[in-house]
Structure 1
Amino acid sequence: MASSASSSLRGIASGTLPQIWKHRLSVTRSVRLPIDIGQDDVPLVPQNVKYVASYNRTNDPQPTILVPGSPRQWLDLPLPLVVPCDVPDTPRIFAEAMLPMLRAADTIALSHPECAVDWSTIDVVADLGVLRTLLHWIHRFSNPHMPWKDVRGLESFGSRFDVQPTTGRTVLLHRIPPTPRRLAWGRKQRPHTSFGSDFERLATAPGAGCERGLEHYRAIQYDFGGLRLVVSGEVDACIPQDADPSSTSPPPAQAPIGSPPDPPERPALPPRSADIAVVPAGAFVPQSALLEIKTEGLRHDGGRRVHAWMHTWSRTYPQMLLSQTPTLLAAGRVRETFVRVRRTRVDADAFRAEAARWADVQRDLRLLVPMLRRFCGVARARGAPFTARAFKDRWAVQEVDRAREHWLLGPEDLERFAPRAGASWKVRNRTRTPREP
């Protein structure tokens, strides 16, 4: 289907296809990078940040989540710390994260109405990994001096995601786990070695009451460039809280600003969020206590290596900005020994002033908004789910693989996005959505 879609697009552009194929332009098309974004000296940051939900995934036979859950607690162990290198066999990605997030949001809204979300007013519900994929593609495409083929490039983030329209204005962006890269003769390529997951597991401990939990996920709502987003992503760790673990008060609104290894098999999710079991466990953690953990290699004399790519701010800062994670812990190692941990507050005034001068990063963030608008326009015009696949100069719109159809939301969960009586979102959206290429 992918090759036929790409060939049909080339044929339509050149006029070599029969007339009967030209009606497919509204169903199979490509999304390109906007050119005119204007010049704005004001940095683009999330506004009106609001906590929506949080939960820990479990490996119970029945799909179960811990709500509100708790991130792993940073232990602040003495250094040096020896950590063996881990070679993951499969990507640590929970692609079916939309249903548990909605179940956790419904559960929290029952006891805390101030956390309830008016889903009919949301423009985009996205996994943080999808936004990172788009930003990374924008950064590579808009920089002609950066090589496209790179083992640590777009493939490491996943070059595809599923787009699902709803009965209202909302468009859902589902993350797809990247498939293992294979060599020409069919063997799997050796995965890239990493110290990240083992370091997180040794340097953190499960939150109180969440010992049975696996990864911790958190969803927040905010306004970004005229769009209202709900973004869900995994949280690495948090600063230990002095509050009682049985606290049931949600965190207040915030100003803009490791987990154990996965089991070999995961329980399949039910077709609707209401069938996911909820276990009350954990405690609400404020946004200001969240931590992002990165590891980087050092030279033997303790200085930074030239190619310490994981600490590149062009990737790390947008990720922390979109997830509203205020603190970065960059752990430096010499071979298998971690010798220092550098703490950076990205919500500090001095760091904000420095980030505002990063022209490439600010350009990528400004380009993200019209890209999201274009995907929303294609999804609403198409009226059916599709897969967006990245190419060097465009995103191709393809049919969703039948093996992944069960990841999409069913009719019962899509009802929450239906417009309310008297709403005129279609008129408002038509005036602000750019014309499709």
Structure 2
Amino acid sequence: MANTKEPSASVGKSIARPGYAAEHDEPNRISDFEVAASYNWLDEKNPTILVPGIPPVWSPPAIAPALKPDYGPQYVDQNTDRNPNSPLDSLILAVQTYQPDFDFPAVDMVSDRRPLRKLYGFVTGETDAFEFGAEMVGNTALFVRMEKQTREELPSTTFHGYRQAFEEQYTKLSASAKGSTSHHRIVRYNFGGFVLLVRSGADVYLQELVKGQTSLEKPDTEDLLSQVNVFETLSLGSRTATPTETKEKQDGRVTVVQGGQMIPHAAVLELTTRSKFAKRPFDIEQKMPDLWISQTPNFIEAYHRSVGYKTYNQPGLQQGKFDDIKVKAIREQLAKWETVNASALGKLATVLGQVIEEVKKAQGPCIVRYTGLGDNLRLSTIEALPSLSEDLKSLFHRKE
């Protein structure tokens, strides 16, 4: 298993959960949204990305197959796993490649979606413990995701659902993206008076939305077949299920392969797989903060049922079949969620400002941590933070 190392930290500043949303010059909503870049990780020994990237296309089979349960290795944070010394390099290189004139010094914060989601949970009273790294480069704050491990092993003796098997059967990967193991998108927008550059993953895209259709209407059969013919029967799910040990890495430098295709953001989706008979039904409201941060406009809910038992080296692991799949356009729902949760988003903007200000004062890298208890974040200084290569940090300094 690959694990992130715990840097030594000194006790620092405490940031209280805001009791109210401070007033900001900008409303508590996202504005001036744009896709800054996208990329795929390629399954190479050395860290290599395809820019722009292309997610798998949604291509459900005509007849739902019985799927075996997931097991084996699975990525938790592929960006850090593939490039642990500089996990933000792939983000910045993708933007630099896709937009050579991008104005990096104009960005106030660079982050993965997860630290922002955790901060939103903090201001709304969630009790999940978390931590992430933070440091200033020029006038830009870099937030760095920190997990206890960057990949995990799903034992075959325990049931873990059918997520990977579902992606393998219901999505197809473009020939131009052969060897891809994940797709990531970087978006730029204004929020709470800050300019944010945010990275997140995308699971799949709808071909009919790329072709200019404005709804989630099902294409006719001939059109669907013509789309599927240009895709190989290689799925994203089958490759993400088998991360390999890559101990012999380069010196942290990411190789950029130009190619792929920039898929319109309006066509991308995230998905979830659930049991049709779960005791706690899935509520998309639980996922809305994530979808709002990445502005993901579509979502798939796929529900499975058991179709009997079959042995896969271990007894009692059931096959599953997905016969209830809902493909939803959620752009209007995101806008409504943003309005309803304006107060919480104002608190998020307040905490973002406080964290950035304290990182500036620290004049060095920090860890932002919440233990899950109490009403305070703890910001502690550390000696070093794996974040971004020195040559790429220079992009955030204005040239005189």
What's the TM-score, normalizing by structure 2?
0.76
In 1: Cα distance, 2:289 partner to 2:243 partner:
30
Distance 1:127 1:170 in 2: 14
Are residue 389 (structure 1) and residue 363 (structure 2) matched? no
- 2: distance between equivalents of 1:70 and 1:49? 20
Structure 2: distance between partners of 1:126 and 1:353: 22
Which residue identity does 2:175 align to in structure 1? A
What does 1:419-434 correspond to in 2, within 5 Å?
419=398, 421=400
**Equivalent of 2:188 in 210, 214, 221:** 221
* 1:93 paired to 2:77: yes
Percent identity over paired residues: 21
Summarize the Cα distance change of 1:401–1:38 in structure 2 as closer, same or farther, 3 Å threshold.
closer
Tell me how far apart the structure 2 counterparts of residues 192 and 3 of structure 1 sit (CA, whole Å). Answer: 37
Decide which of 231, 245, 253 is 1:265's aligned counterpart.
245
SS in 1 for 2:124: helix
Conservation of the 8 A alpha-carbon contact between 1:32 and 1:395: yes
Report how far residue 345 of structure 1 moved: 1.3
Q: State the AA in 2 paired with 1:101.
A: L
The residue that corresponds to 2:117 in the other structure is 132
Instruction: Return the offset for 1:352.
Output: 5.1
Per-residue CA distance 1:272-300 (angstroms, 9 max, x = gap): 6xx4222222111001010111112212x
AA in 2 matched with 1:397: L
Asked if the contact 2:29/2:342 (under 8 Å) is kept, the reply is no
Query: Which position in structure 1 is the counterpart of 2:269?
Result: 291
Matched, 1:175 2:154: no
- Cα distance in 1 for residues equivalent to 2:189 and 2:348: 15
Q: Secondary structure at the match of 2:378?
A: strand
CA displacement at 1:192 relative to structure 2: 7.9
Q: Distance in 2 between matches of 1:36 and 1:318?
A: 19
- The code of the aligned residue for 2:344 comes to D
Q: Give 1:267 shift.
A: 6.2
Q: Is the 8 A contact 2:141 2:356 kept in 1?
A: yes
Distance change in 2, residues 1:46/1:276 (3 Å): same
Q: Does the C-alpha gap of structure 1 residues 307 and 3 become closer, same or farther in structure 2, counting only changes over 3 Å?
A: farther
CA contact (8 A) 1:53 1:220 kept: yes
Does the 8 Å CA contact 1:45/1:321 hold for their aligned counterparts? no
Residue matched to 1:338: 322
Quote how far apart the aligned CAs of 1:341 are: 0.9
Contact 1:73–1:204 (Cα < 8 Å) also in 2: yes
- Structure 2: which amino acid aligns with 1:99? D
Is it true that 1:281 corresponds to 2:251 in the alignment? no
Alpha-carbon distance in structure 2 between the residues aligned to 1:72 and 1:101: 20
2:215 aligns to what? none
Query: Within 5 Å, which residues of 2 pair with 1:369-388?
Result: 369-388=349-368
SS state at 2:176 partner: coil
In the alignment, is residue 234 of structure 1 matched against residue 219 of structure 2? no
Residue 315 (structure 1) aligned to one of 279, 286, 296: 286
Q: Counterparts of 1:269 and 1:365 in 2: how far apart (Å)?
A: 40
Name the SS for the 1:334 alignment partner: strand
SS at 2:287's partner residue?
Answer: helix
Q: How does 1:103-118 map onto structure 2 within 5 Å?
A: 103-110=93-100, 116-118=101-103
User: Per the alignment, do residues 380 and 269 of structure 1 end up closer, same or farther by CA in structure 2, a change over 3 Å counting?
Assistant: farther
* Structure 2 CA distance for partners of 1:270 and 1:399, relative to 1, 3 Å: farther
| C-alpha spacing 1:353/1:195, structure 2 compared with 1 (3 Å) | same
Q: Which amino acid aligns with 1:211?
A: K
Letter aligned with residue 395 of structure 1: L
Cα drift, residue 318 of structure 1: 1.7
The Cα shift of 1:171 comes to: 0.2
SS in 1 for 2:99: helix
CA distance in 2, matches of 1:365, 1:388: 19
Q: Which has the higher strand share?
A: 2
Match of 1:52 among 31, 36, 45: 36
Judged with a 3 Å threshold, the aligned counterparts in structure 2 of structure 1 residues 371 and 191 are, in CA distance, closer, same or farther, namely farther
Q: Write out per-residue CA displacement over residues 320-361 of structure 1, whole angstroms, 9 at most, x where no aligned residue.
A: 12112110111111232211111221113xx35753574xx4
**1:165 partnered with 2:150:** no
Counterpart secondary structure, 1:377: helix
Supply the RMSD in Å over aligned alpha carbons: 3.2
Q: Which runs of 5+ in 2 are unaligned?
A: 1-5, 213-225, 228-235, 307-319
Check the 8 A contact 1:63/1:277 in 2, yes or no.
Answer: yes
Q: Which amino acid aligns with 2:376?
A: R
Q: How far is 1:140 from its partner?
A: 3.4
> What is the deviation of 1:268?
6.6
Give how far 1:420 is off.
Answer: 5.3
The Cα offsets for residues 193-234 of structure 1, whole Å up to 9 and x where unpaired, read as: 233233222211112311111111110111012110000111
Q: Judging changes above 3 Å, is the alpha-carbon distance between structure 1 residues 306 and 357 closer, same or farther for their aligned structure 2 residues?
A: farther
> Per-residue deviation at 1:79?
5.1
Q: Which has the higher contact order (CA 8 A, sep 6+)?
A: 2
1:68-115 CA distance string (max 9 Å, x none): 1210111033354423222455543122441011112121124xxxxx
Query: What letter is aligned with 1:117?
Result: F
Amino acid in structure 2 at the alignment position of 1:164: E
Aligned residues: 344
Give the helix-richer structure, 1 or 2. Answer: 1
Which residue of 398, 402, 410 corresponds with 2:380?
398
Q: Distance in 1 between matches of 2:149 and 2:382?
A: 15
- Is the contact between residue 163 and residue 387 of structure 1 (CA under 8 Å) also seen in structure 2? yes
Letter in 2 for 1:78: A
Is 1:325 equivalent to 2:296 in the alignment?
yes
Give the aligned residue type for 1:396: R
Per the TM alignment, residue 51 of structure 1 is displaced from its structure 2 partner at its CA by 1.8
**Structure-2 separation of matches of 1:172 and 1:323:** 17
